[in-house]
Amino acid sequence: MPDHTIGDTDRVELAPGEVPSDGRFANPDLLPVPVEARRWTTYNFTALWVGMAHNIPSWLLASGLVALGMDWKQAVFTIALANLIVLVPMLLTGHAGPKYGIPFPVLARASFGVRGANLAALIRAAVACAWFGIQTWIGGSGIFVLLGEIFGGWADAGQIAGQPWPLWLCFILFWVLELAIIYRGMEALRRFENWAAPFVIVGAFALLVWIGVKAGGFGELLDQPSKLGWGEDFWPVFFPSLMGMIAFWSTLSLNIPDFTRFGAGQRSQILGQTLGLPTTMTLFALLSVFVTSGSEAVYGAPIWDPVQLVAKADSVFGLLYGLVTVLVATISVNIAANVVSPAYDLANLAPRLINFRRGALITGVVGVLIMPWKLTSTPELYIFTWLGLVGGLLGTVAGILIADYWLVRRTRLSLPDLYREGGPYWYTGGWNFRALAAFLVGGVLAIGGSHSAPGQGPFPEEGLIPLLKPLANYGWAVGVASSFLLYTALMSREHPER
């Protein structure tokens, strides 16, 4: 058997025939990417993040924070800090990708067990399916609005289930287009992101220039003082908002190996992600604030939704350009962030029955059936409830993965044993009960205190577990820290592969 643990910086792969590609725990999509096929460069990873970060929900993040009482400087600061923080687990979990060529659910087998990894994978997949529904509805709605402006509106359109039928048609067509792109595989996604990223950047700056010219400068929004100040009223809003902003990309901090497994080396993924994620999200938040400020000067009220703003363009060319930009921006984030992961996760559940393409199709169907766009109806529900819960649970899984890969195993994995029973990752019947214990304790600590103001959410005002209510505002951090420490302690007597 070849040595699979030579040097932390070496790129490792399986010997031919070492693991059957149609075994109980493997299929061609789950097996390591061959070294010669790991060729994503720094630009590919940067473009991936630019394409994913430039989307309508991330544009609306700043507006959600301003609606909660922050001024624009506080909102941009919160978003920038959150993305610097979430970059750390992103890089730590991403390390296994270029080195071993494995996706997230296979990496999770080292800590949760060959079978237990399905728990972590299905949690991530469920979140992705919900996000897929949100993004697809937003994209379809954007197309509906802009086509309505081009063709003179849909005032006479009949309704189905309380919505105009053209809206449902736009939604379905957008859904089909997304799945058609991802069905062609990861190489097609790489090519799409390469040109989508600069296209969307140009579109965002074109919107800034257009509104700036119409406004003759920018409006009063930039001069509005914070309703919270920097004192005792600010911090109770800042910390849960910070956790919510971290949770926005906490999904990718788990499954980033799904992408870095195609990386040409560690330098490519580290530089690409560092250049792409925090810088792009901060820039996009600034663009959001400046464009909204200009809209207030032109129209007398701030227009935070870029689709509603583009709809006010006074030329068919402007509307068409805005339509294509919204289309590309939404597709680039949705197929990368919300289809790739569950496609692998579902393939991991039943490798012989589900491959990457079938997993993507299942994701598309489930994402529509969930219909979770109602979560964005208010900032409180979106930032505190949805993102807070997601961040707490996914932070708990991230803490376990990082502790296992970096502390317990010191980045050394036995690739063949990740795909078969009886090895060091089989634990007890395929489940590592130490990981399950760390997940349960960390999850309870992270989200057990979840609470809602009266009439503004699904939780009791005193919290699900009143004793844990003070921790609820720090869900992601509590989840990462508690599971990291507990898993490390429980595994302290285990011996990593040498």
Please give the single-letter amino acid code of residue 107.
L
- Beta bridge pairs of residue 159: 164
Give the sign of the dihedral formed by CA 95, CA 96, CA 99, CA 101.
negative
Facing residues of 263 across strands?
40
pTM for this predicted structure: 0.85
Q: How far apart are CA 478 and CA 471, in angstroms?
A: 7
CA distance 313 to 150: 10
Return the half-sphere exposure (C-beta side, CA atoms, 13 A cut-off) of residue 129.
Answer: 24
How many angstroms separate the Cα of 395 from the Cα of each of 133, 142, 282, 398? Answer: 22, 32, 22, 5
Per-residue model confidence (pLDDT) at position 64: 79
Whether the Cβ atoms of residue 465 and residue 448 lie closer than 8 Å to each other: yes
Which run of H or of E encompasses 93? helix 72-94
Tell me how many helices (H) and strands (E) the chain has: 19, 2
3-state secondary structure of 69: coil
Instruction: Provide the residue type at 269 as one letter.
Output: Q
Kindly report the backbone phi and psi dihedral angles of residue 263, in degrees, each rounded to the nearest multiple of 5, phi listed first: -75, 145
Retrieve residue 163's tokens.
Answer: 């919505």
Q: What is the largest CA-CA distance in the chain?
A: 71
Residue 378 gets which letter from DSSP?
Answer: S
CB 280 within 8 A of CB 81: no
Tell me what pLDDT residue 81 has: 95
Give the integer Cα–Cα distance in Å for 130 and 137: 11
* pLDDT < 70 stretches in the chain: 1-9, 155, 186, 220-221, 372-388, 455-457, 494-498
16, HSE (Cβ side, Cα atoms, 13 Å): 0
Q: Which residues pair with 163 in a beta bridge?
A: 160
Q: Give the DSSP per-residue string, 119-181.
A: HHHHHHHHHHHHHHHHHHHHHHHHHHHHHHHHHT--TT--EETTEEHHHHHHHHHHHHHHHHH
Backbone angles phi, psi at 428, to 5 degrees: -115, 100
Distance of alpha carbon 395 from alpha carbon 483, whole angstroms? 8
Residue 431 bridge partners (DSSP): 428
Q: Give the phi and the psi of residue 215 in degrees, each rounded to 5.
A: -85, -20
Residues in contact with 88: Cβ distance below 8 Å, sequence separation at least 6, in sequence order: none
Query: Which token pair is 280?
Result: 């792009």
Q: Which residues contact 223 (CB under 8 A, 6 or more apart)?
A: none
The HSE-up count of residue 487 (CA atoms within 13 Å, CB side) is 32
* Distance between CA atoms of residues 117 and 345, nearest Å: 9
CA–CA separation, 274 vs 45, rounded Å? 9
**Rounded distance, CA 180 to CA 347, Å?**
18
Task: Return the sign of the alpha-carbon dihedral for residues 396, 402, 404, 405.
Answer: positive
- Report H helices in 216-265: 235-255, 257-260
Residue owning tokens 């930009």? 325
Q: Report how far apart the first and last C-alpha atoms of the chain are (Å, whole number).
A: 14
For the chain, state the CA radius of gyration.
23
315 secondary structure, DSSP code: S
CB environment 114-143: b (16+ within 10 A), e (fewer): bbbbbbbbbbbbbbbbbbbbbbbbbbbbbb
